[in-house]
Structure formats: structure tokens, C-alpha cells
Structure 1
Amino acid sequence: MKSNDSARRSTDLALVAGFAALVAVCAVLPSINLTGPVPITLQTFGVLLCGAVLGARRGFLAVLLYLVVGAAGLPVFAGGAAGLSEFTKPSMGYLIGFPLGAALCGLVVERLPRRTIQSSVPAILLAGLAGTLLNHVLGMAGLVLRIDGLSWSGAFNIDKVFWIGDVLKAVAMALVATAVHRAFPDLLDRRAPVEARESSLTA
């Protein structure tokens, strides 16, 4: 039993580290800078994939590890930025919202039946959109806090330019996550009541 627990912890650590690295790669790929203080990157794709593939707990930890590494000074934020100063910029709300968005996406996915996770792209997409919405709300809150005189209406005008791209990234995430779960059906960290009921029925 102890060896199984140890093996599971080692697997969890490897997955958390691997997906944190994936988010970093998505962040440092060339970004698109439109008018406004926040660049468009593939970060949200990586963030949502963490939650959809790893589940709420490990997805949250993977994205949190990414933020910790960036805050410690490694250039893994958008545009190769790094350091604690990134959490004082107008984009701070989006950074803070990343692990929470991953957790929410993972929480929704965990509660889906196994067959749905492996076959229903729309179901995974809805989970991704839930995480995206949370991230955007926190992102707008950061804009309001860090830009003097900016109203919520003004923050929405800045934020809305990201929605089409983020929806497309959520679609891509859903396609990839569904394929991953078909290939690795036991990868998701499922601790939801649905899974408990399935286990009791087969016991």
C-alpha cells in the first residue's frame, strides 16, 4: 500500500511539473500585442488543459507552480517576463486567476461521467469556458485595481478583445483533452461523488 501511495505521489509530482512546463512554453511563444496592457498568448490553452487533464487539485498545483517559478525569476511569463513585479502590473488579475480557472475547469470535468470525458468535446468545452469566465472576471478586477480611474466598463472594453481568441483556445483544449482521456482513461485525478458511486457499484 505504501509503495502504491509513493508511486502515485511521484506520478502526481511528475505530472504537475510537466504541465507547469507546458504552461510556460505556451506563455513564452510569441505573443500578439493589441491596443491595451495585456498581450494575447497561448497561456490560457495550457492553463485550461492542466485542469481538464489533471483535475482540479493537480491542475491548480501545476499552474501555481508555474506562477511560483516565474515569480522566483525564471522568464516564463508572457514575453519572457519574470519576477514579483509582474503581480503589480495591470495583468495581475489574469495571472492570479490562472490557477483558479484551472481548478474550476478541472472541478467540472471531474464530475462528468467517464464516457462523457472521453467522447464529448462540448462537455469539456463548457468546463473550459467556465474556467475562462472566472479568469476574465479576475482579470478585469486587476485592471480596475491597477489602472487609475479605470471603470469596470472600461475594463470590459479592454477585456472583450480576448474573448474570441480564448473561446478558440478552449475549443482546442477540449479537443486535446478528450483525446488524452481516450488514450489515458485513468489519468484524471477523479475524487468526485460520481466516481465514488461508480466504484461502489463495481465493488
Structure 2
Amino acid sequence: MKTKTVALIAVMIAIIIALGFIPGIPLGFIPVPIILQNMGIMLAGALLGSKRGFLCVFIFLVMVALGLPVLSGGSGNIAAFMGPTAGYLFSYPFAAYLVGLVTEKFDKANAFLEFFLIWLAGAVFIDVMGAVGLTIQSHMPLHQALLANLVFIPGDTIKVLIVTLIHRRFKNSSFLQA
């Protein structure tokens, strides 16, 4: 693996961790807070591409599993993969892969199509997988978990807009080419 690739992955992991410094907003009716780290997950896929984005997020999750306090609110341990946020966490590397895939395959797409594809591959995918995980972990009916996850859609849509704008700014940059 090239030194530049390692450096890009390390910087993106640092960005994901930094987004975790902003504490989550608890909702009360669902045991999952509103966080900014999922924006970093989508950004990893968009900027690094499918394979490097997946690897970046996978390394981040290994750091979580090792107990490093890199999740939103300064938490991190293997128990995070068994709690109410497990579905979201397990979806992260695949969301980064999917976002990277759509930005690679549709690199000539207009801004609206790019936004929509990132929204589907990132925000919607993470929210649906999070609802499935919530159903498994808390025995909440799937339809109820999916409905509860609708609260995340407005904020996730804003995050996708930011990711799309950043990606469109840097997608042809030689800095990101490894």
C-alpha cells in the first residue's frame, strides 16, 4: 500500500474521530442519539473511493472494538457492537463502500443525482440497517424501528448535502488520487 494511501486513510479516520467529539443529541424515544460521525463515514467513501473507504471505516471500527474512545461521546469498546447502535456500526464500512461505489460509477453525474445516490447509499442504508439492528437488540418491531429512524432523515439529508459539496469540490483533485 502506498504511503499516500495510508496517509489519506489516517487523515479520514482522524476526521471521523473528530466528528465524534461533538456529543450526540439524545432523543428519548429511541436509544440512539443524533450524531455527526455518520457524515464522516459517507465522506470516507466519497473521497477515498469504495475500497479505501471501506478499509478506512473498518480500521476505525477495529479501534472501537479495541476500546479506544473514538465513538461519539468518547465511548468505545466491544460492547458497542452488541448495544442499540450495533446495526449502525456494522453498516458503516458497507455504507462507505456503497457511497464510494456510486461516486466512482457516476463520476460524471450532475449534483442532484450525486446527492440522491449518496443519500440512498449512505444515509438511508445506515438508517435501515440501524433499524434492523435495533429490532434485533431491543426486540422493537421492525416497522416501529423504521418509523423511529425517520427522525434522522432531515439531519442526515443535510449531512449528505455537505458530503456532496465536499466531494464535488475535491473529486478531481490530484491530492486524493493514489
CA contact (8 A) 1:122 1:174 kept: no
The 10-residue stretch of structure 1 (46-55 or 26-35) with the greater mean CA deviation from structure 2: 26-35
* 1:24 aligned onto 2:13: no
RMSD across aligned C-alpha pairs, in angstroms? 1.6
The answer to whether the aligner puts 1:75 opposite 2:72 as a matched pair is no
Cα distance in 2 for residues equivalent to 1:100 and 1:79: 23
Match of 1:133 in 2: 124
* Structure 1 residue 186: Cα displacement: 6.4
**How many residues were matched structurally?**
176
Q: How far did residue 111 of structure 1 move? A: 0.9
Give the letter for the 1:160 counterpart: L
Post-superposition offset of 1:70 = 1.4
Q: Which has the higher helix share?
A: 1
2:27 counterpart of 1:37:
no
For 1:1-150, what aligned pairs fall within 5 Å after superposition?
9-35=2-28, 36-113=30-107, 116=108, 120-129=110-119, 130-148=121-139, 150=140
Structure-1 separation of matches of 2:51 and 2:26: 32
For 1:146, the aligned partner's letter is Q
Contact 2:58 2:93 survives alignment (8 Å): yes
Paired residues of 2:8 and 2:176 also in contact (CA < 8 A): no
C-alpha separation in 2, matches of 1:124 and 1:42: 20
Contact 2:46 2:167 in 1 (8 A): yes
Over residues 50-92 of structure 1, what are the superposed CA-to-partner deviations in whole Å (9 max), with x where a residue is unaligned? Answer: 0111100000111111111111111111211110000110110
Equivalent of 1:181 in 152, 171, 174: 171
Q: Percent identity?
A: 34
- TM-score normalised by the chain length of structure 2: 0.92
Structure 2 equivalent of residue 197 of structure 1: none
1:124 positional shift: 2.8
Runs of 5+ unmatched residues, structure 2: none
Deviation at 1:26, TM superposition (A): 0.9
Residue pair 1:28, 1:79 contacting (<8 A) in 2 also: yes
Worse-superposed segment, 53-62 or 34-43:
34-43
Q: Is the 8 A contact 1:51 1:59 kept in 2?
A: yes
Q: Is the 8 A contact 1:45 1:173 kept in 2?
A: yes
